[in-house]
Amino acid sequence: MKPTRLALAAGMSVLALGAAACSSSSETSTGGTTGGSGDESDLTIGFLYVGPKDDYGYNQAAYEGSQAVQAAFPNAKILQAENVPETAEAETVMEDMIEQGADIIFPTSYGHLEFAQNVAKDHPDTIFVHQGGLEGEDKLDNLGTYFGTVYEPVYTAGVAAGEATESNKLGYVYAFPIPQTLANINAFALGAQSVNPDAEVIAVSTGSWCDPGLQAQAAKSLIDQGADVLTQHQDCTKTIIEAAEAAGAMSVGYHFDASDLAPNGWITGSEWNWGPLYTDIVQTVVDGKFVDSPYNGDFRVGLQTGDNPFVQSSYGSMVSAETQAKIDEIKQSFIDGGSPFAGPVLKQDGTIVWESGQQPTYEEVETMDFFVEGVTGKID
């Protein structure tokens, strides 16, 4: 009997997740099953990625998380679909996975959520877990979302970049001015300014989660403006990091540790370690405990909860032991309840957002619609 039906018999429901991404054509592949026995022997799990699974970024991190699930549940069948756009095509892919027996589906792109909700309503026996949060008001027993607090490791990466820069110009390539992206840009800028008050972050939008051509143009523009450090909020990061390395600039990664692409210019980065969270979600489903669990809603974790899947990447040789120790102290301050946005925080125009002694809630950060002082760029 399928674990999902067992779980539903025990009063279980479906989980769906969404995450930031771009679009392309999709193709579904099947991971083989290996030996062993247990309740998961008939379990089928589907993963949707908005881009390729080897993008040195968001999708590769999610793919590696799926491999951790395969290792934890060796008898499970894993279905993989790359390059699934944030359109109705995602519904077609999920329906196809259900035809193949999917008990749990992970739509891992920000824009997959709406389509996961549509399919979840028609298939109450399938669990949907969407990566990226933002579940909305219509709660479903077979749907949930999850994400980690991303701006804390981005802030500490900014600290390392602020120490490393010589030109005091840091380039930031981003996709869209959504609150999560703006929070990351601002956190990076504030981290850099905390150790280097002269640091300026130049922000450039590509209007796409993964367009290597536009990324190359943005990287060149930033380097031409004097930026000697490039970072990004993009799904795929390879083009930007390689452009920085070729120009003799330094890099800060995002989503995935891409240090092997920049042997000379890698500073650090922030990356996803999805394996433990994915595995716990699947185990919750197998145990018949999904309904009304933390995963059957908008599940968020961060440094304060001690299980944030978004972590600091490796350090490059230019990051001193002193800087690493400083970053460790900052991380501890966040664990103790501090925030990258502890006041005073000012907007570009000098307007005070949070006074000294104030700091925003997570919910307030999730509505951010401005750049802080020290960021050059326009929000269109």
Ordered structural domains, the chain, with CATH: 3-149+274-301 (3.40.50.2300), 151-271+315-376 (3.40.50.2300)
Q: Shortest CA distance to 262 belongs to which of 234, 228, 222?
A: 228
Q: Which amino acid is at 22?
A: C
How far is residue 106 from each of residues 2, 117, 240, 277, measured CA to CA in Å? 17, 12, 28, 12
- Count CA atoms within 13 Å of residue 144 on its CB side: 27
Q: Please, what is the Cα angle at 271 between 167 and 93, to 5 degrees?
A: 125
Measure CA of the first residue to CA of the last residue in the chain; give whole Å: 52
Q: Which amino acid is at 38?
A: G
pLDDT, residue 41, reads 67
Cis status, amide bond into 344, omega within 30 of 0: yes
Q: Tell me the C-alpha distance between 107 and 157, whole Å.
A: 28
What are the mean pLDDT values of the chain's consecutive 10-residue runs (380 residues total)?
38 32 44 40 93 92 97 97 95 98 95 94 96 74 90 96 98 95 98 98 95 97 98 94 98 94 96 94 96 89 70 94 97 93 97 96 92 95
Buried/exposed 2-11: b ≥16 CB within 10 Å, e otherwise: ebbebbbeee
Determine contact, residues 47/80, Cβ cutoff 8 Å. yes
Angle (deg, nearest 10), helices 151-164 and 179-195: 40
Determine contact, residues 61/125, Cβ cutoff 8 Å. no
Determine contact, residues 178/149, Cβ cutoff 8 Å. no
Q: Tell me the C-alpha distance between 314 and 252, whole Å.
A: 10
Phi, psi of 119 (to 5 degrees): -70, -35
Structure tokens given for 237: 């990061």
- The three-class DSSP label of residue 53 is coil
Q: Shortest CA distance to 140 belongs to which of 92, 105, 109?
A: 105
From the number of C-beta atoms within 10 Å of its C-beta (0-12, 13-18, 19+), residue 146 rates as buried
Phi, psi of 84 (to 5 degrees): -90, 115
pLDDT, residue 40, reads 64
pLDDT, residue 5, reads 38
Q: Tell me the C-alpha distance between 81 and 30, whole Å.
A: 9
Tally of CB atoms within 10 A around 22: 23
**Alpha helices by DSSP H, the chain:** 3-9, 58-72, 89-99, 113-122, 151-164, 179-195, 212-224, 238-246, 275-286, 321-335, 362-365
Q: Shortest CA distance to 227 belongs to which of 213, 207, 208, 243?
A: 243
What pTM value is reported for the model?
A: 0.83
Q: Shortest CA distance to 318 belongs to which of 234, 232, 259?
A: 259
Residue with tokens 């607090």, as numbered in its chain: 149
Q: Tell me the C-alpha distance between 126 and 119, whole Å.
A: 9
